[in-house]
Homo-oligomer: A and B are copies of this chain.
Amino acid sequence: MILVMDKSATEADVKKVVLLIEELGFQPHISKGSERTIIGVIGDERQIKREQLSLLPHVENVIPILKPYKLASRDFKQSNTIVDVAGIKIGGPSVVIIAGPCSVESEDQILQTAEAVKKSGAKLLRGGAYKPRTSPYTFQGMGEDGLKLLAKTREKTGLGIVTEVMDVSDVDLMADYADMIQVGARNMQNTKLLKRLAQVKKPVLLKRNFSANLGEFLMSAEYLLSGGNDQVVLCERGIRTFVEYTRNTLDLNIIPAVKQLSHLPIIVDPSHGTGRYDFVIPMSRAAIASGADGLLIEVHPDPAKAFSDGEQSLTPGLFKQLMDELKTITNAMGRSL
């Protein structure tokens, strides 16, 4: 941690800061520049609260040196983490496609979708039983009945199940049914939920919040890792910007950023990330080309009749086309599908 004293700071002001740093058990290191005096704080800066120093007189700025996350960083673990979901490995050489409807709507719908996406090469099935909807007047999910249909579909197709949990009270139930538990963008900083999921022996798919920067995203992963669950896959799904042609702005720049700073795998959800089915194929190609470890794709047998998110769902036919196009891109990347 670096403290910058303002221009009018006197020797006495500096001394006061130095004494407090020592009192807190750290070692101060003064460096007098031409226009400013700066004071380095030697020791584990994560143990200091900024305000302990920033509010002292004539402290102009407090600059942290270390990243706030530890276990999620590449400093801590240099090799890539590979997460095993029902035998499918995310973060290794294969690019993993998770596909399925936004919501489980009926036995027919989920089974039909599962069979179609499996045939085209999807490795895991997504489907929501609990839905966080903007409007109270829209479909809120089938609940446990949906989970049962997902389990039944897994039995018939062999596809592992990825589904979203919305509340601490549903975690145990969810853990009984799901192969991977998804934390939605709106819950990325639901710290009670994260702490509870840290205790569960299931991989977690952690989606980035609309307004989360990378530090906040990795700190949410840190809740899981520090709580004992290191089976975490990150998911980029679009950020909130001023742009008008997509519902969100899918931010692929986060892929090389995560690869550099963290050992965790990261996949991309171009369905939510763009909100438009006609952008899903090009942005899926781009996601793989940027280095993503997989994709989360919404597929519905009849998007116009979907209970939710129909506008961003592929038909099984378009999903097949996507998979065909991805084959050449993953090859070009030296990976397999």
Q: For A222, give the chain B residue with the smallest CB separation.
A: B136
CB 8 Å contact bits of A62-81 with B (1 = contact, 0 = none): 01011010000001000000
Q: Are A35 and B66 in contact (CB under 8 A)?
A: yes
Q: When A219-B136, A289-B289 are in contact, do A256 and B283 touch as well, CB less than 8 Å?
A: yes
Residues of B within 8 A of A310 (CB): 49-52, 55
Q: When A279-B257, A329-B332 are in contact, do A226 and B137 touch as well, CB less than 8 Å?
A: yes
Residues of B within 8 A of A193 (CB): 167
**What's the number of copies of this chain in the assembled complex?**
4
List A residues at the B interface (Cβ < 8 Å).
Answer: 2, 4, 7, 29, 31-36, 38, 40, 42-46, 49-52, 54-56, 61, 63, 65-66, 68, 75, 132-138, 140, 166-169, 186-187, 189-195, 209-211, 213-216, 219, 222-223, 226-227, 239-246, 249-257, 260-261, 273-274, 277-279, 282-283, 285-291, 303-307, 309-311, 328-329, 331-333
Q: Are B254 and A251 in contact (CB under 8 A)?
A: no
Q: Tell me if A's interface is mostly helix, strand, loop or mixed.
A: mixed
Q: Are B191 and A190 in contact (CB under 8 A)?
A: no
Residues of B within 8 A of A7 (CB): 75
Residues of B within 8 A of A256 (CB): 278-279, 282-283
